[in-house]
Amino acid sequence: MPLLINEVKRKLSYSMSEEIYITIIGGGVIGCAIAYEISKESKKNIVIIEKNNQIKGENQSSRNSGVIHAGIYYPKDIEPLKARLCVEGNSLIYEFCNKYNIPHKRTGKLVVATNQLEEEYLEDTYRIAQENKVPGVKIIDCKEVKKLEPNVKALSALYVPTSGIIDSVSLTDKLYRIAESFGAMFLVGNKVVQIEPFRNDFQVTIKSNNGTEVFRTKILINSAGLYSDEVAKMLNSGSPFEMNPIKGESAKFYRTKREEISINGLNIYPVPFGYILDGQRLNVHFKEFQKLYREGKISKSVGVHLTPTLDITGSNYSIGDTVIIGPAYSKPNGKEDYKPTRDEKYFLDIINPLFPYLKLEDISLHQTGIRAKLKDHNDFVIERDPKYQNCVNLIGIDSPGLTASLAIAKYIKQLLEK
Ligand SMILES: Cc1cc2nc3c(=O)[nH]c(=O)nc-3n(C[C@H](O)[C@H](O)[C@H](O)COP(=O)(O)OP(=O)(O)OC[C@H]3O[C@@H](n4cnc5c(N)ncnc54)[C@H](O)[C@@H]3O)c2cc1C
């Protein structure tokens, strides 16, 4: 059970300590994974402060596509942390899921090229996958695609066997419960509103419905998701990072409704492409895309894709009937603007080139999430604050943050041990 501040204080006084050793701000999948990893071996006081009233990953950690990424999208020289932590996180997440019976499935993925321009992008994705040492990736022709997914239209495709799906809420919940059983204290319904340096420590002010409280901590970990840029600036107003949040909307259909819209259960993606802020696709030749991307002028998107879901009954789970189409990107009005702006026709048109037999009446709207995308920066930012070395910031942990969560947690533990 998450705690109240006076319960945290009582626990601290039992352990004869005046202060909290490590404070983690944000109880999404990243904060919970870090709490899990650190509390496994440390007897130090660890408190996780979460502004929502429960640890349920209510922000990005539940409003995502639930795809276990393989690590094929991130060039090492442009996005080194995503490249490394996604591939590492991929195998860690399967290991964790098998150990704790977290609903998941290694479905495999097809990245589909439907014309010659897209084949250029496919070649490049294959190159990145090889550079990142993603196992088992191969280019297959349209006949092989048909054998795997008969209703997908493709000229050729990349087959990625280590891609999968996961119930992200179950993952976050398990990490939280294990960390709590190791002694980590989860304080919910409390928002961090001020952080000040205090001698060698930090003084943190939190606000809840019951008023404000102040406590001291030796180490601060900022894993506040969409608000991580603001939290970093609370301590150091010179922190250069600024969020440029992206809304991702999705729709759904039922794969057993008609034979020609059934899928066997692979993740089915278009080729990754450049996009501009309103979600528009940039239809340029690959070399031009590459130049703009390297200059940081555009972001790369994995594109609107088809993702199977899991049916979960008690401790049993299997691939369900519902297939998600998304995320379709647009610019939100603020960090929690979950209002849908795309209609069913948008999803039909965008998925049609690779999945042509869907009809408008098959589609209904599903959910909206907001990605913690950074302005002018594509990689994760995971670093100590330059002025206050005992504060570690995790900023811009957008996709593939879910996949990378356990690898990020190990990375943080190593950083703290240095
Ligand atoms: C539409 C979409 C699709 C995605 N698809 C995938 C995918 O298929 N695969 C994948 O690997 N990744 C995917 N991602 C990315 C993934 O979901 C995120 O990288 C991951 O969930 C980030 O977790 P987090 O804990 O950093 O952030 P969050 O889940 O946002 O958690 C941050 C927490 O910090 C709390 N907080 C913020 N400010 C404060 C404060 N001042 N005080 C106290 N608490 C605070 C918030 O309440 C929140 O609970 C997707 C994301 C989106 C939005």
**pTM summary value:** 0.96
> What is residue 15's predicted lDDT score, i.e. its pLDDT?
52
Ligand 1 midpoint to CA 64 (Å): 8
Which has the closest alpha carbon to 322: 352, 353, 367? 367
Q: In this structure, are residues 260 and 151 in contact, taking their beta carbons and an 8 Å threshold? A: yes
In this prediction, residue 43 has a pLDDT band, given cuts at 50, 70 and 90, of: confident
Q: Which of 254-263, 288-297, 384-393 has the lowest mean pLDDT?
A: 288-297
pLDDT band at 1 (very low <50, low <70, confident <90, very high): low
Q: How far apart are CA 201 and CA 217, in angstroms?
A: 6
Ligand 1 in reach of 48 Cβ (< 6 A) = no
Query: How many Cα atoms sit within 13 Å of 60 on the Cβ side?
Result: 29
- pLDDT for 285: 82
For ligand 1, is residue 224 a contact (CB within 6 Å)?
Answer: yes
CATH number for 5-60+170-242+378-417 (one of 3.20.20.70, 3.40.50.11540, 2.60.40.1220, 3.50.50.60): it is: 3.50.50.60
Provide the pLDDT for residue 16: 44
Q: What is the dihedral of CA 79, 83, 84, 86, to 10 degrees?
A: 120
Q: Is the pLDDT of residue 387 over 80?
A: yes
Q: Indicate the average pLDDT of the chain.
A: 93
Tokens of 20: 């909290």
Residues 187-198 have a mean pLDDT of 96
pLDDT for residue 283: 78
Residues 142-179 pLDDT 10s: 999 999 999 999 999 999 999 999 999 999 999 999 99
Distance 28 CA to ligand 1 centre (A): 6
pLDDT on residue 13: 58
Mutate to test the pocket of ligand 1, among 23, 56, 61, 204 (most ligand atoms within 8 A of CB): 61
**Helix (H/G/I), strand (E/B), else coil: 213:** strand
Q: Is residue 17's pLDDT more than 60?
A: no
Residue with the nearest Cα to atom 41 of ligand 1?
Answer: 192
Specify the ligand 1 atom closest to the Cα of 26. Answer: 34
Residue 11's pLDDT is 67
Tokens 């701000």, located at residue: 25
CA of 248 to the centre of ligand 1 (A): 13
Mean pLDDT is lowest, of 59-73, 194-208, 269-283, 384-398, for: 269-283
Instruction: Dihedral sign for Cα 31, 37, 39, 45, please.
Output: negative
pLDDT digits (tens, 9 = 90+) for 302-328: 999 999 999 999 999 999 999 999 999
Which pLDDT tens digit goes with each residue over 70-120? Answer: 999 999 999 999 999 999 999 999 999 999 999 999 999 999 999 998 999
Alpha-carbon distance 300 to 343, whole Å?
23
The distance in angstroms from the start CA to the end CA of the chain is 32
Q: For residue 234, give the nearest of 222, 219, 216 by alpha carbon.
A: 222
Residue 269 has phi, psi (to 5 degrees) of -120, 150
Residue 119 tokens read as 């084949």
What band does 32 get if pLDDT is binned at 50, 70 and 90? very high
For 109-161+246-371, CATH gives 3.30.9.10
Which residues have CB under 8 Å from 412's CB, separation 6+?
34, 37, 38, 221, 382, 392, 394
Dist CA 132 CA 73 (whole Å): 9
Q: Are 344 and 365 contacting, i.e. CB atoms less than 8 angstroms apart?
A: yes
Taking the C-alpha atoms of 372, 399, 298 and 306 in order, what is their torsion angle to the nearest 10 degrees? -120
* Domain-wise residue ranges, the chain: 5-60+170-242+378-417, 109-161+246-371
CB 222 near ligand 1, within 6 Å: no
**How would you classify the pairing of strands 104-105 and 164-166?**
antiparallel
Encode pLDDT of 237-287 as tens digits. 999 999 999 999 999 999 999 999 999 999 999 999 876 656 667 778 878
pLDDT tens string 366-376: 999 999 999 98
CB atoms within 10 A of CB 177: 15
